[in-house]
Amino acid sequence: MPYINVKVAGKLTQKQRKEIVSDITNTMLKVAGKPASSTYVQIDEVPRNQWGVGGKMLSEK
């Protein structure tokens, strides 16, 4: 039973979430032979002010 956790900076639309879940699930089936019925995908939308890269907060870019 695969469990995939995706973290993204900022908000996604419902359409984007659906596409991400579908594509990841299909990739697990194609590459690892894991059935869609047992593949769990969780998306965490983290505010940009809680992410940093290159020594700066994403909210400052």
pTM greater than 0.85 (yes/no)? yes
Query: Looking at residue 34, what DSSP letter applies?
Result: -
Residues 2, 42 contacting (CB under 8 angstroms): no
2 is catalytic: yes
Where in the chain are the domains?
3-47
Q: How far apart are CA 54 and CA 25, in angstroms?
A: 31
Q: What is the pLDDT of residue 44?
A: 98
Mean of the per-residue pLDDT values of the chain: 96
Q: What is the pLDDT of residue 61?
A: 74
Q: How far apart are CA 32 and CA 8, in angstroms?
A: 24
Catalytic member of 2, 20, 24, 41:
2
- The CATH number corresponding to 3-47 among 3.90.1150.10, 3.30.429.10, 3.40.91.50, 2.40.50.140 equals 3.30.429.10
**pLDDT tens, position by position, 33-58:** 999 999 999 999 999 999 999 999 99
Using the predicted structure, report yes or no on whether residue 20 has a pLDDT greater than 90. yes
Using the predicted structure, report yes or no on whether residue 18 has a pLDDT greater than 90. yes
Q: Amino acid identity of 53? A: V
